Amino acid sequence: MCGRFVIELSPDLVAKVFGLPEVPNLSPRYNVAPTQPAPVIRETPGGQRGLVMVRWGLIPSWSKDSDGGLINARSESVNDKPSFRQSFRQRRCILPASGFYEWARVEGKKVPYYVRMADGSPMPLAGIWDEWRDPNGTLLATCAILTTAANEKVAPIHERMPVILAPESFDQWLNRHVHDAEALRPLCAACPADRIEAFPVSPLVNNPANDAPECILPV
């Protein structure tokens, strides 16, 4: 799964890597948690890419209320679940992250690990989004991160990991006109283990209120 992630990226780099027409206003975040605002990149109706802030925890448009929210969607079944199906086919996005946290159980205790790209590049997390309208007509945009079976690097920590997209798959993933689930499924495979690295970090990350560079320092 993916329950926390990090955004420590230069706005200029984000614009360049993800093909944004403008440099986004993006502040560093070291402990993004569910229900908090998260940046997503999606294709506009005009075919350009844009970065917007949405709430992490997907609420289907047909939901009766905005309580809770689904933070993860299993890529293997995302096309079968009513909560995710339409978003997967029509409303895909990318979350520009630096890495994510996962917790391993060691001698009866949960130890946080930080997983990032081995070369320090951005980590493009595959996401889906939706919009929910409250009784007053106000729209709330939300998102979920897709997960897949862990690769050899993450498996000793947790059995699941977020889908990390390859740069060459961005066009297909964001294309609003691609609705074929079978064509999208290969993009959801676990990234090669040699592309990422993982190391234990401070238990500071256990509290979402802690949002500082110390959260990602190796211990």
User: What is the pTM for the complete model shown?
Assistant: 0.96
Q: Please tell me the distance from the alpha carbon of residue 165 to that of residue 162, in angstroms, as a whole number.
A: 9
The mean pLDDT of the chain is 96
**Average confidence (pLDDT) over 208-215:** 97
**Average confidence (pLDDT) over 44-62:** 94
Q: Please tell me the distance from the alpha carbon of residue 187 to that of residue 149, in angstroms, as a whole number.
A: 13
Q: Please tell me the distance from the alpha carbon of residue 71 to that of residue 63, in angstroms, as a whole number.
A: 15
Q: Please tell me the distance from the alpha carbon of residue 22 to that of residue 70, in angstroms, as a whole number.
A: 30
Give the position of tokens 């997983």. 115
The two beta strands, 160-162 and 196-200, are unpaired
Q: Let me know: does 70 contact 144? Beta carbons within 8 Å.
A: yes
Helix (H) or strand (E) holding 88, with range, is: helix 85-90
Cα dihedral sign, 131-84-2-180:
negative
Give the position of tokens 């964001």. 174
What does the pLDDT read at residue 59?
A: 96
The tokens describing 5, both together, are 């992630």
Side chain identity at residue 25, one-letter code: N
Poorest-confidence range of 5-14, 102-111, 164-173, 195-204?
Answer: 102-111
Give the position of tokens 């569910």. 34
3 state SS of 97: strand
Catalytic residue among 43, 93, 102, 188: 102
> Does the pLDDT at position 68 exceed 80?
no
> Does the pLDDT at position 13 exceed 90?
yes
| Residue 97: half-sphere exposure toward Cβ, Cα within 13 Å | 30
CB atoms within 10 A of CB 77: 10
**Average confidence (pLDDT) over 128-135:** 94
**Average confidence (pLDDT) over 159-184:** 96
Strand partners, 184: none
CATH number of 5-216: 3.90.1680.10
Nearest to 139 by CA among 130, 126, 148, 128: 130
pLDDT in tens, 101-123: 999 998 889 999 999 999 999 99
**Average confidence (pLDDT) over 93-100:** 98
Q: What residue ranges do the domains of the chain occupy?
A: 5-216
Q: Does 2 participate in catalysis according to the annotation?
A: yes
Q: Please tell me the distance from the alpha carbon of residue 177 to that of residue 13, in angstroms, as a whole number.
A: 27
Q: Does 22 participate in catalysis according to the annotation?
A: no
